[in-house]
């Protein structure tokens, strides 16, 4: 069954969590430099943070950023990450939540995330659900779970764009490449406005449109970091190509 440790009050102060923090975030503090902006958008109390996914090093980079800014993170992450030798041990010890897609346990993971946010915790979701397959590492289309968590809890949905973890641990590998020294860039934006959606009447199309809204915010933050204009459209994992995100992008 899905771990329910994240629901426990004060788990972030437990020996297991603090030990995991030292072992997981200590090395990245030593190995990397930091470029952090927008921390004023991180709210007090429970929230869900939506970030782009570029490397297996993302939990370390994102987790260190959030922890050092007073928001001990709890990740809603695909179960494959829990099978990695070092990262998996940290995720398990720190009470993180594995998502086994296509099973009843995915529903349990969603319930864990909702309860954690209601308990005042910071839950991190990568809406792409896997490392981006976009050839230029731009964010892909996102899934709707992050929107559903925000609507169920009424909590802020905070977009976070990150860049740099793909240099520390390139896509497709779990081997660190710490030299030359890398910089972990983090940009937090204002919460995504979901005020036009009502939890009781929202449709599947509404959720998909809101997920696109979230990915648009994340993409804008990544573009700021990279100093580049993102390509038109967004990579669709199922189709294996970029698809339009706005009507005006239709051919």
CB 61 within 8 A of CB 51: no
Q: Is the pLDDT of residue 251 over 50?
A: no
The CATH architecture one would assign to domain 5-227 is 3-Layer(aba) Sandwich (3.40)
Q: Is the pLDDT of residue 167 over 80?
A: yes
Q: Can you give the residue ranges of every domain in the chain?
A: 5-227
- The CA–CA distances, whole Å, from 120 to 58, 68, 91, 196, 202 equal 23, 17, 19, 24, 25
Q: Is the pLDDT of residue 153 over 80?
A: yes
Beta strand extents in 206-249 (DSSP E only): 234-236, 241-243
The predicted pLDDT at position 249 comes to 44
Q: Which residues pair with 48 in a beta bridge?
A: 123, 157
Q: Which residues of 59-74 are buried (b: 16+ CB within 10 A; e: fewer)?
A: bbbbbbbbbeeebbbb
Tell me the pLDDT tens digit for each residue of 205-228: 999 999 999 999 999 999 999 999
pLDDT band at 1 (very low <50, low <70, confident <90, very high): very low
17 or 52: which leads in pLDDT: 52
Tell me the pLDDT tens digit for each residue of 49-106: 999 999 999 988 999 999 999 999 888 766 776 777 766 776 676 666 666 655 555 6
Which tokens go with 113? 């995330």
Q: Is the pLDDT of residue 36 over 80?
A: yes
* Beta strands 97-99; 73-78: pairing state: parallel
The predicted pLDDT at position 6 comes to 55
């Amino acid at each position: 069954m899905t771990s329910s440790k994240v629901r426990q009050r004060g788990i972030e102060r437990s020996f297991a969590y603090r030990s995991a923090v030292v072992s997981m975030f200590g090395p990245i503090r030593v190995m990397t430099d930091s470029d952090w902006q927008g921390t004023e958008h991180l709210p007090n109390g429970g929230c869900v943070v939506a970030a782009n996914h570029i490397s297996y090093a993302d939990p370390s980079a994102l987790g260190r950023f959030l922890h050092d800014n007073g928001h001990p993170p709890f990740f809603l992450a695909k179960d494959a990450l829990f099978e990695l030798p070092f990262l998996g041990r940290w995720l398990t010890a720190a009470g993180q939540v594995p998502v086994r897609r296509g099973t009843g346990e995915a529903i349990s993971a969603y319930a864990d995330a909702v309860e954690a946010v209601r308990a005042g915790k910071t839950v991190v979701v990568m809406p792409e659900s896997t490392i981006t397959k976009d050839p230029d590492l731009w964010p892909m289309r996102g899934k709707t779970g992050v929107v559903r968590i925000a609507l169920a809890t009424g909590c802020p949905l905070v977009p976070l764009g990150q860049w740099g973890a793909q240099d520390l641990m390139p896509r497709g590998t779990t081997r660190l490449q710490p030299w030359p020294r890398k910089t972990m860039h983090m940009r937090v934006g204002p919460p995504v406005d979901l005020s036009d959606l009502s939890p009781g009447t929202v449709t599947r199309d509404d959720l998909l449109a809101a997920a696109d809204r979230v990915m648009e915010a994340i993409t804008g933050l990544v573009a700021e970091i990279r100093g580049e204009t993102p390509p038109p459209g967004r990579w669709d994992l199922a189709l294996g190509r970029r698809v339009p995100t706005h009507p005006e992008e239709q051919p």
